[in-house]
Structure 1
Amino acid sequence: FSFNDEFLTTPDTRISIPKYMRLGHQAILMTGRPDLGLVFGSKTHNGTTGLAALAAQCAPDLESALRLLINMETLSSQNSRGKSRFYIEDGRAVCHFYSISPYNRYNLFVVDAMLSTWWRFCKQHTEDKVHCHHIEIEYPKPSHADSFETHFGCPILFSQKRNALVLKRGHHHERLTDSCATTFSKMTEICEQERRKWNSGTTTADQVVDLISANLTGTPPNIESIARKLGIAGWTLRRRLANEGFKFQTLLDDTRNALAQTYVRDTKHNFTEIAFLLGFSSPSAFHRAFKRWSGMSPGSYRDGPKHDQTK
């Protein structure tokens, strides 16, 4: 995976979500533990989770802690498929991990690890006074399904519309063992500064690609719709992209190309489903585009030799 000591000891380094998924999958193969994501999350601590977790442990209550931890997700990771969210639903706190559908043998690890990491934080900083009401998971029931109920101690619902850790009603009000209002305020300020610094280094093209990826389903987004999500006019976005040497249509095409190869290679979705996920008007339009991108049909690409999975 091309990691070395210098990379691993540099505070601001990041790895892509695809590489993280493949790293986890390879570890599962090496250990023979399909539940490794759950184990991984249970072994994390605030130092390895990052600056946001160190700040969150000082929060006055669990709700404040989880809101900060999830809102500051970009300090440790970023994924073009969406963002995690925290909200209250019917009096219950919901930690909602974004969708990384379509699911395949690589990305189950990420969902398991993230939900497990949040649950470890809840238990560690409330002296086990907090309990899960239930867990919702998007992907179908896996071979290691029994590990979930043992791990979380609550009902586990697979094939759901979201990935979510749902606490029992009112448990988000629980006071944290290490709460300190002044330290929490100062640490939150530092997190905000880091997030602004991180976001300021993101190019307009990077932001556009993230938004394209998250808004493809059904029909492709146009430059006006992406501009609205960025809070600017379409002509302003076009000018900013031009200043960086990009055109919107090129970014849209390149993003669909990269996702198409992943969907065809790593999932069992039929090509009609993939066409919809990528915003094509019809399967035939998808087939033409894929052949233009790769020089072969989607079927030939799927049935051909395995492609490099580590990049």
Structure 2
Amino acid sequence: MTHEATTLASWTRALRKQLDVLGLDSEQLCAQAGFEPGALDDPNGRCPLSATTRLWQLAVEASGDPALGLKTSQFVSPTTFHALGYALIASCSMREMFERTVRYYRVVSDAMELELRECADCYEFRFLTVPGNLAPAPEALDAFAAIYVRSCRNRLGRDFAPLAVYLQRPEPADPEPWHAVFRAPLVFSAAENLLRFAKPEFEQQLEDGNPELAEHNEVVLKRNLEQLQGPHWVRKVRARLQAQLPEGEPSAERIAQALHMSLRSLQRHLADEGTSYEAVLAETRHALALQHIREANCSISEIAYLLGFSDVSSFSRAFKRWTGQAPSQYRETLKND
């Protein structure tokens, strides 16, 4: 049975506050979305992603406002994310803040996989939908992006703006609200959801950081994470592999770094789930190969590239190990079925 992603009830309560401000019946909309009465009253409760996504859809329909997510972000405070919120505001740099977000966000929600990547002259913060799970509503992703840009402004000043914002959502009829919030180059219908930040601002030490407070809240977060921890490391590695394979086969060290852990810890987690990095890499490539081979407009060489192989022959050999047929033969068989 597939585990359905969940989010903290306190996150959904922010949307209810926005609806109440608009004069809409948030209680009725929650009932329509499938929430049990009183389900959002417990701030420590967790809500299924299907109900939360449905509520966003109903909220946009009732308000007639496609930019509802951007506005809802204003109702999110540190207490919304519990101990994580306090650990973030106590962080001593923006880099530290986002690294904590990546490490502990599962306490808030397991609907997304987060990644902070250091590039030559910037940092890239990705929020990826989990393969096989229902995708969060576009408005929820708008809110998520806006929350973290606002968090940067709270620490660095009102004039702060990211270098660029990429959103997978289609471009709205009126993109002005998004430009007004992000104040940065904005790309809609992007391949992935991504915020790009300048390195100097991310690495500078913040005078209001409080390491002791951050560490205290990390103790709580680690305990919460242990309670939620299930056999999900394979899923996390697969998500990172899918994002990084087009750039070439990533090493286990690189995936461990993306997950903000040591290689040894990653190997131990996978071993606990009865597998290894090499096995997960092969399984992920195999699954993606079978998916892409069915796409008539995707050439064999393109598939090899998307799966991170150095050349077509390497991909062909691997594909034959998996299926007993060369990629072109397998594709021909599909046409005859």
Shorter chain as denominator, the TM-score bin is 0.5 to 0.7
Cα deviation, residue 211, structure 1: 7.5
- The one-letter code of the counterpart of 2:42 is T
For 2:135 and 2:48, the matched residues in 1 are separated by 17
The percentage of aligned residue pairs carrying the same residue is 14
Correspondence for 1:65 among 68, 87, 97 = 97
Of structures 1 and 2, the one scoring higher in RCO (CA 8 A, sep 6+) is: 1
Map of 2:138 onto structure 1: 108
Question: C-alpha separation between the residues in 2 aligned to 1:150 and 1:190?
Answer: 36
Specify the alignment match of 1:52 in structure 2.
Answer: 84
Pick aligned residue for 1:119 from 149, 163, 167: 149
Aligned to 2:52, the other structure's residue is in SS state helix
Q: Residues 261-272 of structure 1 correspond to what in structure 2 (within 5 A)? A: none
- Closer, same or farther: CA 130–88 of 1 in aligned 2, 3 Å: farther
**Structure 2 counterpart of 1:110, which letter?**
A
Q: CA RMSD of the aligned region, Å?
A: 4.4
Structure 1 position 128 matched with structure 2 position 170: no
Work out the CA distance in 2 between the residues paired with 1:118 and 1:189.
23
Paired residue type of 2:137: N
Question: SS at 1:190's partner residue?
Answer: helix
Give the whole-Å Cα distance in 2 for the aligned partners of 1:69 and 1:120: 15
Q: Give the secondary-structure state (helix, strand or coil) at the position aligned to 2:170.
A: coil
Query: What's the counterpart of residue 232 of structure 1?
Result: 271
Within the candidate set 33, 37, 47, 1:15 is matched to 47
The aligned residue for residue 184 of structure 2 is 154
Are 2:72 and 1:33 aligned? no
Letter in 2 for 1:137: L
What do the CA deviations read for 1:89-114 (whole angstroms, capped 9, x no partner)?
A: 23322221114699x99721122111
1:16-52 Cα distance to aligned partner (Å, 9 max, x none): 2232222111111111110111111233111113321
d(CA) in 2 for partners of 1:231, 1:209: 10
* Alpha-carbon distance change, 149 to 207 in structure 1, aligned in 2, over 3 angstroms: same
* Aligned amino acid, residue 95 of structure 2: E
What residue in structure 2 maps to residue 298 of structure 1?
none
1:221: which partner in 2?
Answer: none
Change over 3 Å in CA distance of 1:6–1:214 after alignment to 2:
farther
- Give per-residue Cα distances to partners, 1:183-219, cap 9 Å, x unaligned: 11222222122212221xx3x4x777788899899xx
Change (3 A) 1:140 1:100: farther
What pairs up with 1:1-311 in 2 under 5 angstroms? 1-4=33-36, 6-79=38-111, 83-99=113-129, 107-128=137-158, 130-176=160-206, 178-199=208-229, 202=230, 204=231, 231-232=270-271, 236=274
TM-score (normalizing by structure 1): 0.62
CA distance in 2, matches of 1:146, 1:136: 15
Cα shift at 1:176: 4.0
Q: Say how many residue pairs are matched.
A: 243
Unaligned runs of 5+ in 2: 1-32, 244-266, 276-293, 297-302, 304-329
> Does the residue aligned with 2:116 lie in a helix, a strand or coil?
strand
1:233 CA drift (Å)? 8.4
Q: Give the corresponding residue for 2:261.
A: none
Alpha-carbon separation, structure 2, partners of 1:139 and 1:189: 36
Change in CA separation of 1:106 and 1:25 when aligned onto 2, cut-off 3 Å: farther
- Counterpart of 1:15 in structure 2: which amino acid? C
Per the TM alignment, residue 72 of structure 1 is displaced from its structure 2 partner at its CA by 1.0
